[in-house]
Amino acid sequence: MSARTEAAPSRVGTWFEERLRISGLLAAMLHVRIPVSAQTYYLGGITLFLFGVQLVSGTLLTLYYKPPADAAYESVKYITSVVEFGWLIRSVHHWGATLMIATVVLHLGRIFVQAAYKYPRELTWVVGVLLLAVTIGFGFTGYLLPWDQKAYWATTVGTEIAGGVPVIGDALLYLLRGGADVTDATLNRFFGMHVLVLPLLLGLLVVVHLTIVHQLGLASPRHLEPRPERRGGPARPVEEPLKPFFPHYILDEVIAWFVVLAALVVLASVLPAGREEEADPLVTPPHIKPEWYFLSAYQLLKVVPRTIGILVPVVAIGILLLLPFLDRNPAVAKRRRPIALSLAAVSVVVIVGLTVWGAQS
CATH number at residue 260: 1.20.810.10
Decide if 345 is inside a domain. no
| Residue 335 covered by a domain | no
The pTM assigned to this predicted structure is: 0.91
The DSSP letter of residue 13 is H
Angle of helix 306-326 versus helix 122-144 axis, rounded to 10: 150
pLDDT of residue 225: 79
The pLDDT tens digits of the residues spanning 142-157 come to: 999 999 999 999 999 8
User: Is there a domain that residue 15 lies in?
Assistant: no
Q: Model confidence at 7, in pLDDT bands (50, 70, 90)?
A: low
Q: What is the pLDDT of residue 21?
A: 83
347/227: higher pLDDT: 347
Within-domain flag for 352: no
- The 10s digit of each residue's pLDDT in 168-179 is 888 999 999 999
pLDDT digits 0-9 by tens, 246-297: 888 999 999 999 999 999 999 999 999 988 899 999 888 887 788 899 999 9
No. of H helices and E strands in the chain? 14, 0
Q: Are 323 and 263 in contact, with CB atoms under 8 Å apart?
A: no
- Confidence (pLDDT) at 4: 55
How many domains, the chain?
Answer: 1
Query: Mean of the per-residue pLDDT values for the chain?
Result: 90
- pLDDT at 61 exceeding the cut of 70: yes
- Asked whether the beta carbons of 47 and 202 are under 8 A apart, the reply is no
Whole-number pLDDT of residue 233:
46
Residue-wise pLDDT tens digits, 14-43? 888 888 888 887 888 888 989 988 889 999
Q: Count CA atoms within 13 Å of residue 192 on its CB side.
A: 11
Q: CA 284 to CA 41: how far, in whole Å? A: 43
Quote the domain boundaries for residue 77.
Answer: 39-226+241-284
* CA–CA separation, 279 and 300 (whole Å): 27
Q: How does residue 201 score in pLDDT terms, banded at 50, 70 and 90?
A: very high
Does 275 map to a domain? yes
pLDDT of residue 229: 58
Q: 324, 320, 294: which is closest to 143 by C-alpha?
A: 294
Contact 148, 277 (CB under 8 A): yes
- Domain assignment of residue 10, yes or no: no
Is residue 5, in this structure, part of any structural domain at all? no
Question: Alpha-carbon distance 208 to 61, whole Å?
Answer: 28
Distance of CA 77 to the CA centre of its chain: 27
Residue 234: its pLDDT value, please? 47
Is position 4 within any domain?
no
**Which is more confidently placed, 137 or 10?**
137
Q: Is the pLDDT of residue 6 over 80?
A: no
